[in-house]
């Protein structure tokens, strides 16, 4: 009988839906993805104390740049599983504290690339042609053409610090305007830069004196904070202009103000500041009001398209995380490339089911304990070629503890999986076996070891989008690990299937599928060898032969069932003739 197909699980009831807090304005297109499954609470204008009071009841938090996600807030969010930043930078989120609490932090590194690059070019042109001052002058009823003579950007040099996705987009746009582009980025590929028409330099000292415009596209880190101060700005041409659509603080604001006042540079186009909104009397506020500055209120990602893109991106990731899937841009976990994500997704489900099957089928005889055992998770075939298997490791941990933890494994993710194994005394080794995967392109083997005990094995594979268990301990199988399963260890003799069917039928339990799994070749050979070796010392010859013959006829009967399987049902099945053991598995 062929294994059954996947059956989608019904959505949770409204009273049990995970809750997501959105304290800032986030595009509704993404939030609409979440509302069918989760309770989405959009509450703008909350104070820090309001957030601290509300956060304990939420499972997800979606923010932009204004909300400060502090260590205190994360510690209070006892149910929090994910914090999503609808944008690129996460400097308003305490990522280390999130990692400590096992909370995944995701962002949208690609959603606003075009918007940020276009705004950079907009500020470049605005500073070159005095657009801000000209607009204010005309609105004031003046006509000051002679005071507002600008410069052309064609044939000028644009310097870029940080040639990442946004920096490269800016470079290509600038080249389209007829500019020469020079960049500083120690991690940039010389071949890629050359192919884009960008010249790379090795230091600020080499870059600064040569540029007519300078833009920075780096995150705000300890190494980039106040990257440009007085000494650096003094190295620039007095006709040069600087731009910032990245993060406030990469330019020292006091130094930049002095550079404009002293005439070290000619102007600036600023979209970001160290403190937003601006604090009256601060260097940032003075910069924004300076006649040589074109200032905008953090509009780099503020386009309809960008807001929709980042909203859809982070909300999709929140959706996946809350239902046990993989994020595509986890800040505090290894990056999952899209192609790896697609390849790993079905195996994540398979490995989680294998872990849960182990705990419920094997570990139940130890009181449900998996601690103190050593596990080996082996990847075969094409799967062995994937280096980032952290999601599979986390899936195994989640499966192992799901049936024995209060949270049902929902508190396990790629961020905290290793910590959970240490807390529970579980040792897991991963092996990449460079074989052909046997009968399947990719396969997974889970082995469990304990001193003085036999090795326990579960093997599985993926076919299309369906997952299958192909080996359960000493038995060759081929079943779909889903729903409620009854696993009966029995002697493979006539009448066993009928007897089991009568018991479950009497209790109103429907059988969805049934499979008989026989001993694999290695186990059968051992059983036959035990018969040939004869009785051990102190054992009657007839008993030994009979026992050995029985060993060669062992099998597993695996039933997928619908209906309530009570303790009484299990006891009645266990008493049936020829049934050696019965386990109930819920997957």
Which residue in 441, 439, 432, 449 sits closest to 478, CA to CA?
Answer: 439
CA gap 422, 81 in Å, rounded = 20
Contact 495, 585 (CB under 8 A): no
Cα 109 to Cα 30, 52, 79, 165, distances in angstroms: 16, 27, 26, 9
Strand order from edge to edge, sheet including 579-586: 510-518, 554-562, 484-491, 579-586
Concatenate the DSSP letters of all residues of 541-562 into one string.
Answer: HHHHHHHHHHHTTEEEEEEEEE
H-type alpha helices, 12-66? 28-35, 48-54
Catalytic residue at 361? no
Tracing tokens 């579960």 back to the chain, one arrives at: 458
Dihedral angle over CA of 568, 398, 342, 64, nearest 10: 120
Catalytic residue at 247? yes
Tracing tokens 């604090």 back to the chain, one arrives at: 279
Q: How far apart are the first and last CA of the chain?
A: 20
Catalytic: which of 59, 85, 241, 247? 247
Is residue 539 helix, strand or coil?
coil
Contact 359, 404 (CB under 8 A): yes
CA gap 511, 432 in Å, rounded = 38
CA gap 293, 261 in Å, rounded = 11
Q: Which residues of 169-197 are buried (b: 16+ CB within 10 A; e: fewer)?
A: bbbebbeeeebbbbbbbeebeeeebeebe
CA gap 456, 472 in Å, rounded = 8
Cα 37 to Cα 13, 394, 408, 448, distances in angstroms: 9, 24, 18, 36
Catalytic: which of 298, 361, 373, 380? 298
Contact 167, 160 (CB under 8 A): yes
CA gap 573, 511 in Å, rounded = 14
Catalytic: which of 66, 276, 493, 577? 276
Burial classification of residue 495, based on how many CB atoms lie within 10 Å of its CB (0-12 exposed, 13-18 middle, 19 or more buried): exposed
Catalytic residue at 276? yes
Residues annotated as part of the active site: 247, 276, 298
């Amino acid at each position: 009988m062929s294994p059954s197909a996947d059956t989608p699980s019904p959505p949770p009831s409204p009273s049990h839906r995970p809750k997501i807090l959105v304290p800032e304005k986030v595009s509704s297109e993404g939030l609409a993805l979440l509302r069918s499954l989760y309770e989405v609470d959009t509450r703008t204008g909350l104070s820090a104390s309001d957030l601290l009071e509300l956060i304990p009841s939420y499972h997800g938090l979606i923010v932009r740049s204004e909300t400060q996600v502090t260590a205190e807030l994360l510690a209070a969010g006892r149910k929090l599983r994910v914090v999503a930043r609808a944008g690129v930078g996460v400097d308003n989120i305490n990522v280390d504290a999130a990692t400590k609490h096992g909370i995944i932090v995701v962002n949208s590194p690609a959603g606003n690339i075009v918007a940020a690059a276009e705004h950079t070019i907009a500020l470049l042109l605005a500073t070159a042609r005095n657009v801000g001052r000209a607009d204010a002058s005309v609105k004031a009823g003046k006509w000051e053409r002679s005071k507002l003579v600008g410069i052309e950007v064609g044939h000028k040099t644009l310097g870029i610090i940080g040639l990442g996705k946004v920096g490269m987009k800016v470079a290509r746009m600038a080249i389209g305007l007829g500019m020469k582009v020079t960049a500083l980025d120690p991690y940039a590929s010389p071949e890629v830069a050359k192919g884009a028409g960008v010249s790379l330099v090795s230091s600020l000292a080499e870059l600064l004196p040569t540029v007519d415009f300078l833009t920075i596209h780096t995150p705000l880190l300890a190494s980039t904070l106040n990257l440009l101060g007085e000494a650096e700005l003094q190295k620039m041409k007095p006709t040069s202009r600087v731009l910032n659509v990245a993060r406030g603080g990469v330019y020292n604001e006091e130094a930049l103000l002095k550079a404009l006042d002293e005439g070290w540079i000619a102007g600036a186009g600023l979209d970001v500041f160290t403190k937003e909104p601006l604090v009256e009397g601060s260097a940032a506020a003075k910069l924004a009001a300076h006649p040589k500055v074109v200032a905008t209120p953090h509009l780099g990602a503020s386009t309809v398209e960008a807001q929709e893109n980042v909203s859809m991106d982070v909300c999709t990731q929140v959706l996946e995380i809350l239902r046990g899937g993989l994020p595509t841009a986890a800040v505090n976990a290894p990056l999952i490339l899209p192609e790896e994500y697609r390849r790993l997704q079905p195996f994540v489900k398979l490995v989680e089911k294998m872990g849960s099957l182990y705990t419920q089928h094997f570990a139940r005889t130890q009181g449900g304990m998996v601690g103190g055992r050593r596990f080996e998770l082996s990847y075969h075939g094409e799967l062995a070629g994937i280096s980032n298997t952290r999601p599979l490791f986390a899936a195994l941990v989640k499966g192992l503890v799901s049936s024995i933890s209060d949270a049902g494994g929902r508190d396990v993710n790629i961020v905290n999986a290793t910590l959970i194994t240490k807390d529970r005394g579980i040792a897991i080794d991963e092996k990449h076996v460079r074989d052909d995967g046997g009968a399947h392109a990719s396969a997974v083997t889970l082995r469990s070891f304990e001193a003085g005990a036999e090795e326990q094995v579960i093997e599985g594979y993926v076919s299309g989008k369906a997952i299958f268990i192909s080996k359960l301990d000493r038995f060759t199988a081929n079943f779909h690990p889903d729903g409620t399963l009854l696993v009966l260890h029995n002697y493979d003799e006539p009448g066993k299937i009928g007897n089991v069917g009568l018991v479950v039928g009497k209790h109103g339990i429907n059988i969805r599928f049934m499979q008989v799994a026989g001993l694999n070749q290695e186990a059968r050979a051992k059983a036959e060898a035990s018969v040939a070796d004869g009785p051990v010392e102190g054992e009657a010859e007839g008993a030994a032969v009979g026992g050995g013959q029985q060993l060669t006829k062992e099998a597993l009967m695996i039933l997928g069932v619908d209906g309530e399987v009570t303790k009484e049902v299990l006891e009645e099945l266990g008493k049936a003739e020829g049934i050696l053991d019965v386990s109930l598995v819920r997957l």
